Amino acid sequence: MIVDRSLWSKKKEFMLRRLLEDQDIGYLDEELYDILLEFFRREGTFTISSCSGRVVFIDAQMPWVREGSTIIFKKHKPITVEECLDIINKPILHNLWMIVTGPIIHASTASLREARLITSIARTAGFKHSGIISIRRDGIIIELKSGIGVTQIIKSGNTILVNTDRINELVEICNKVLLKGKERLYRLKELLIKYREVT
3-state class (DSSP) for residue 24: helix
Residues contributing to the site for its own copies (CB under 8 A): 62-64, 95, 112, 116, 119, 129-133, 135, 143, 145-153, 156, 159-164, 166, 169-170, 172-173, 176-177, 180
Residue 19 or 103: the one with the smaller Cβ distance to its own copies is 103
In whole angstroms, the minimum distance from the beta carbon of 152 to its own copies comes to 5
In whole angstroms, the minimum distance from the beta carbon of 45 to its own copies comes to 17
Residue 72 or 160: the one with the smaller Cβ distance to its own copies is 160
Residue 70 or 156: the one with the smaller Cβ distance to its own copies is 156
In whole angstroms, the minimum distance from the beta carbon of 89 to its own copies comes to 15
3-state class (DSSP) for residue 173: helix
Task: Give how far Cα 56 sits from Cα of 32, 60, 98, Å.
Answer: 18, 12, 6
Q: How many angstroms from the chain centroid is the CA of residue 66?
A: 17
Buried b (16+ CB within 10 A) or exposed e, 164-189: eeebeebbeebbebbebbbbbbebbb
